[in-house]
A and B are shown apart, each in its own frame.
Chain A
Amino acid sequence: MLGQLTKNERQLALVILLAVGLWGLVFGVAGKDDPLGAHGWIIVLAALAGIFKIISIYYDPEPSDDRLSSYYDDPTKLGIILAMVWAVIGLFVGDWVAWLLVKPDLTFDAGWSSFGRLRPVHTTGVIFGFGGNALIATSFYVLQRTSRARLPDQLSPWFVLMGYNLFVILAVTGYMMGITQSKEYAEPEWYADLWLVIVWVTYFGIYLRTLMRRKEPHIYVANWYYMAFILVVAVLHIVNNLAVPVSLGHAKSYSLFSGVQDAMTEWWYGHNAVAFFLTSGFLGMMYYYLPIRAGRPIFSYRLSIISFWGITFFYMWAGSHHLHYTALPQWVQTLGMTFSLMLLVPSWASATNALLTLNGAWHKVRDDATLRFMMVAAVFYGLTTFEGSFLAIRSVNSLSHYTDWTVGHVHAGALGWVAMITFGSIYASVPWLWKQKSMYSPKLVEVHFWLAVAGTIVYVFAMWNSGIIQGLMWRTYTENGTLAYSFVDSLIAMHPYYIARAVGGLLFLLGALVGCYNIWMTIKTATHVIPESAADRPAVAPAAALQPGE
C-alpha cells in the first residue's frame, strides 16, 4: 500500500517515526511510576511497527510519474478498513456496557473492565474510531474528485491517518488504565491532545493544498462541510483541552477552567463536537455520495448555502442548553435555547435538500440498500434535529435532562444518522476503490440494512420509554405533597428497557459484522474487472489554461 511513496518520502517517514519513537521513549522513562510510562511504550511500539513497514518497502522500485495522473486512494482504502474495525470494537464495548446495566456483575473484578472505564472506550471507539476514520477516508476521496486534483503528496495523508489512529489508541487504552480528563467526549489527556493538534494541522494542510491545486473553479459544497469540520473541531479541541499537567512524567493534568466557566466551555465543546464532528463532516459525506449514488444533482444550491452557514453560525450558541436550571447564569441558558430552536431551520433545510434530491430516483431507493442507507440517514437526521431543538426547550429539558431520553436522542443521531450515512458511503465507495462492479453480496447489504434499522428503532424506543418514565417518576408527588417514588423505584422500572436497549445494540453490532464480512470478501475476491475510467482521474495540467475566469 505504501508503494507510491517516493525515496524522499520514505526517508522523511523514517525521520518522523524515529522522532515519534524517541518521544515514546522519553515518556516511557519519565513516566515509569505513572500510567504515562505504559503509554510511552505503546508509542514506541507503534513507531517500531511503522519503521519495520517502511524498511520492508524501502528498496522497492520508486513509483513512476504515472501515479500523478490518477487519484491517491491507498490511505482511503486503509481508512475504510480501520473505520470498520473500530465500529466493531466500539459497538461491542457499547453493547457490553449496555448489558452491564442489566447484569452489573457481567465483568471482571478489575479496574479496566468496570463500567466507568469502558463507557468512554465505547464513545471514543464509535465517535473517533469509527466516525473519525470514516471522515478522514471519505474526505480524501471526495476532496480529490470534487477538485479534480490529486492529493499534494503521498506521505502526509498517511501521517494523518496513522497519527489519528495512534491518538485513538492512546485514548482507549488510557481509559482502561484510568487516564482521563473526565471531560465528556474530550477525555484524552494533555499529551494525546497535543499530538492530535499536530495531526490535525497536517490534515488541514492537505485540504488547503489540494484545494489550491484544484481544477474546478468552485469549491464543492461537500468540501465546505469537511473544512468546517476540520477548522471548528480544531478550535474546540484546543480551547476545551487547555490544561496544566502535574509534571512531564504524569499523565494527569488539571483543566485551566473550573466550575461554571468549565461547564460552559465543556458543553460549548461537547455540543459542537456533535455539530462539527458528527454533523458537518457527515453532511459533507452525504452531499457527495447521495447524489452520485442516486444519479441526481443536488436539489437546491441555495438551500445548501443557507443550511451550511446556518449550521456553522447557530450551532456554536447552542451548547448551553445542556445546562438548563443549573448554576449557569440564566441569560446564557436562554441564548442556548433560542439558538437551538433556530437551528431547526438549517438542519431541516439539509434534510429536505437530501430527500428532494432523491426525487426521480425513488425506484433506486427501493431496489438499492446502499442508497436506502443514505435515505434513512437523512430521515433520521431530520427527526433527530427536530428532537434536539425540542429537548433544548427549558421546560421540556427539566423533564428530559439527566434521563435516558438524552441517551436515546444521541443514539437516534449516532446510529440512525451518522452510522447509516457512513455505511451507505462505505458500501458505495468500496466497489469504486477496489474497481468492482458491486459489493461481493448485495443481499448481505440488504441484511445489514434491516439489522441496522431494527437495532436503531428498538434502541431508540426503549430509551424514549425509559427516559420519560424516569423523568416523570422523579417529579411525581403524592396527594400529601411528598415525592411519590424513591430513586430506587425508578431504577427498578428501567430494567425491561435496559434489556431491550442491549438487544437493540446487539442487532446493530451484528449488522456491522455482516458489513465487515461483505467488505472483506469484496476486497478478497477483487479481480480488477473494471478498468479505471477516464472520468475518475485528476484533470491534467493543460486544464488550468482552460479557466481564464479564475
Chain B
Amino acid sequence: MFGLHYRLERKAIGLVLAIIIVSSIGGLVEIAPLFTIHQTVEDAPDMRVYTPLELSGRNIYIREGCYACHSQMIRTLRDEVERYGPYSLAVESKYDHPMLWGSKRTGPDLARIGGKYSDDWHVAHLNNPRDVMSVSVMPAYAWLSRTALRTDDMGLQLKAQRAVGVPYTDDMIANATSDAYGQASPDSPFAEGVTKRYGKATNVRAFDGKPNDLTEMDALVAYLQILGKLTEAPYKPVAEVAR
C-alpha cells in the first residue's frame, strides 16, 4: 500500500484523480438516493405553495438572516414536541428553496409559530422586541414598517420558483403582484383572487394594521403566520400520513 502511494505521489494527475474519486463517494451514497427513494418525503396532498406576499416575507426572513438564530425544524424528541408542537416532516419544507431548518436556537424554534400570536403582537415585537419581552436579545426591525414592499417583480419571482420545481400556475404568476397587494388589503377588489388561487384558509388581513400601505412588515408577518400551516399532515396520526 505504501509502495503504491510512493508511486502515486510522483504523478500530479494521478493524485488529482485519486482525490476526486475518494472524496466523491460519501456524497454520492448519501445525497443521490434522497432524490430517488420515495419514502424520503411524505405525501401531503393538501400542501399548498406560498402566496406571493408570504414568499416575499420569506425572502425578507432570509435577507435579515433570521435563520441564524431561529430554527424551523422540531426534532423527534419529547421535550421539543411538548415545547414547540408536532415534530417537523420533510414534506413541510418541500417547497422551500432553500430550506430554513437552521442550526442554532439563540431564539426559539419557529416551525409552528403560525397562528400562535396575533398580528399586532408580531408587529410590536418586530418593531422593538424589548417592548414585548424585556429580556429579549433580538434585534429591532423597526425599518420594516417604514419600507414599502417591492411588488413589481413578483411574477418573475414566482416564475423562478416554478423553474426550480414549485407548482405555481400561469394564473398565479400572471396575478402575482395584485395578489400580493390583495392579501394585505382585505377590502380591496384584489383580495378575492388570493383565496380563489391559494385556498379559503389563506390569511387575508392588513397584517401591519394599515390596509392601504403594503410594507415589508406586512410580508414578514404574513410569512410568520403561515409557518407550520401549509399542510395538516403533521397534526394527523402517523398512520394516516405514512403510506
Contacts and interface: CB of A to CB of B under 8 A. Distances in A.
Contact-size category for A: 35 or more
A246 B156 contact: yes
A193 B118 CA distance: 40
A116 interface: yes
The interface residues of chain A, by DSSP majority, are classed as helix
Counting chain B CB atoms within 10 Å of each CB, the highest count among A239, A254, A401 belongs to A254
A244 B160 contact: yes
Contacts of A252: 59, 157
Interface in B54-74: 59, 62-69, 71, 73
B160 A253 contact: yes
B68 A257 contact: no
Nearest to B216: A111
Counting chain B CB atoms within 10 Å of each CB, the highest count among A102, A257, A339, A492 belongs to A257
B135 A488 contact: yes
A313 B23 contact: yes
B103 interface: yes
Given A104-B130, A312-B22, A402-B103, A257 B98 contact: yes
B5 A305 contact: yes
A474 B73 CA distance: 15
Counting chain A CB atoms within 10 Å of each CB, the highest count among B82, B88, B104, B106 belongs to B106
A49 interface: no
A235 B19 CA distance: 11
A406 B64 contact: no
B75 interface: yes
B105 A402 contact: yes
A326 interface: yes
Interface in B1-31: 2, 5, 9-10, 12-13, 15-16, 19-20, 22-27, 29-31
A390 to B, nearest CB: 18
Interface string A95-116: 0000011101101011100111
Contacts of A309: 22
A161 to B, nearest CB: 22
A184 B143 contact: no
Contacts of B173: none
A329 B5 contact: no
B76 interface: yes
A265 B64 contact: no
B34 A264 contact: yes
B242 interface: no
Given A117-B65, A235-B23, A326-B73, A483 B79 contact: yes
B139 A320 contact: no
Interface in A314-351: 314-320, 322-329, 332, 335-336, 339
Interface stretch (A78-86, A211-219, A357-365): A211-219
A255 B164 contact: yes
B115 interface: no
B174 interface: no
A435 to B, nearest CB: 31
A398 B74 CA distance: 12
A256 B62 contact: no
A110 B99 CA distance: 27
Interface of A: 33, 100-102, 104-105, 107, 109-111, 114-117, 119-120, 175, 178-184, 208, 211-212, 217-219, 224, 227-228, 231-232, 235, 239, 243-247, 250, 252-266, 268, 301-302, 305, 309, 312-320, 322-329, 332, 335-336, 339, 398, 401-403, 406-407, 470, 474-475, 477, 482-483, 487-488, 491-492, 498, 550
Interface of B: 2, 5, 9-10, 12-13, 15-16, 19-20, 22-27, 29-31, 34-35, 37, 39-41, 59, 62-69, 71, 73, 75-77, 79-80, 82-83, 87-109, 129-130, 133, 135-143, 152-153, 156-157, 159-161, 163-166
24 contacts: A100-B139, A107-B139, A111-B64, A120-B68, A180-B65, A182-B100, A208-B12, A208-B16, A244-B164, A246-B157, A246-B159, A250-B153, A254-B161, A257-B97, A258-B166, A259-B95, A261-B34, A264-B34, A266-B98, A268-B30, A315-B23, A327-B93, A335-B29, A550-B10
Given A268-B27, A268-B31, 4 more contacts: A257-B98, A263-B93, A312-B22, A550-B10
